[in-house]
Amino acid sequence: MRILFTGQTGIDKKAQLHGLRDYCAQRGRTIDAVFNIGDMMYEESQKSGTTLKEGKILDLPLAQLGALRLGAFNLIRNGLGRNQGSGTQNVFVNSHAVFRWNNRLFRAFELPEVRDLQPDIIVTLIDDVEAVKMRLDQFKESGALPPDTKYSLKDLLVWREEEMLASDILSSVLGVPHYVLGVSLEEEVSPTPLEVVYHLMFEPWRKTAYVSYPISEARARPDIWEKVSRYRRLARSYLTAFDPLMIDEKRLLDVLEEGPAEAQELECTVLGKTVTLERREIEAIRDDIDGQVVARDLKLIDQSEMVVAYFPARADGNPLIAGGVQSEIEHAESSTKDIVIVWEASRGPTPFIGRKGDGRLLRSLEELEDYLKSISQRPGQQEMSL
């Protein structure tokens, strides 16, 4: 399978993809090659006698940049051609969908180049905006980016949306699936979020599913949040699961509201490190964060076969009902997705929830596990066990 990975700078895609290759190898699956278009373009420039300082390639004229990109894609095509007939080729190609540089926006590919690559799927990798900014700041400190490179949180959010949109259009033109996937999740839920790609490649019998659950109120109740975490781990054990908390930047709004009112700089923890952000930058993206949460979660539903919605019970036995979960169920129904409802409360759900589950109303996480086992058997598994 050939996978084209897109995404903005600051996600560390190269390291992510090499980590995913190692993850596949640990499970007995070989990734034949990982091609990094950016590195290959620098190599092509050196062959032509052009010496480029790291981080300056986008300063080239567009025609010259296009020639370098074409050379990189030709190298990939030639490399793949030499391996024809050697069995299924499992290949990762790391690219951008768009370039943002010096207040300019331009495409990072030509359609014939990508058509020749013949990707089976396109995956856009995304991460929290503050994590992207932290990595870019580190690139500037190391010299990988020019020290005068400017970007705001707003710029990075817009760039992420542009990568997703351009990739979605490309997938539509090519007629291949497009998935949006976050590179981060809590360690207790999944230490390897990109395992989703492994499932897509090598375990196609798994159902693709969006896991819906309450977040804000559940997080405020440790007993309920522990059940939610168990639910999320359970879903990932049996499904190719897309989790809304693969992006968790809404916590920036908590930083904004909980910080000192007079402070112009606010601290937050990013990937285990303390990072200082300007208040005005966070305030500028308040509406963008909320808007992108909704749009992104609906996209995750659209790229899934089914939605599993969890309504945990409170300590008093009553259900915890979140408006977001209800909205996601409504979108899944309007998109004719399969819907599974997990309802823990002793009293039954209202028809507005209970009738959404296509007859699959489960009353506990134990029932959910039994159900997921029944739909997640690999071909021949049941016959072998008889």
- Please write down the HEC assignment for all residues of 35-99: EEHHHHHHHHHHHCCCCCCCCCHHHCCHHHHHHHHHHHHHHHHHHHHHCCCCCCCCEEEECCCEE
Question: Which of 32-36, 70-74, 176-180, 204-208 shows the lowest mean pLDDT across its residues?
Answer: 70-74
Angle at 137 between CA 183 and CA 44, to 5 degrees: 75
Same CATH topology for 1-204 and 206-386: the answer is yes
Strand partners, 274: 269
Tokens, residue 228: 């939610």
Collect all residues with Cβ–Cβ distance below 8 Å to 161 and sequence separation of at least 6.
292
Angle at 106 between CA 105 and CA 110, to 5 degrees: 160
Give 135-168 as a DSSP string: HHHHHHHHTSS-TT----HHHHHHHHHHHHHHHH
Q: From CA 386, how far away is CA 381, in angstroms rounded?
A: 9
Average pLDDT in the 85-95 region?
78
Tokens, residue 20: 């995913």
The CATH architecture assigned to 1-204 reads 3-Layer(aba) Sandwich (3.40)
Residue 184 has pLDDT above 60, yes or no: yes
Q: From CA 284, how far away is CA 319, in angstroms rounded?
A: 36
The CATH architecture assigned to 206-386 reads 3-Layer(aba) Sandwich (3.40)
How does residue 52 score in pLDDT terms, banded at 50, 70 and 90?
Answer: low
How does residue 236 score in pLDDT terms, banded at 50, 70 and 90?
Answer: very high
Please report, for the chain, the start and end positions of each structural domain, with discontinuous segments joined by +: 1-204, 206-386
Residue 330 has pLDDT above 90, yes or no: yes
Q: Which pLDDT belongs to residue 146?
A: 83
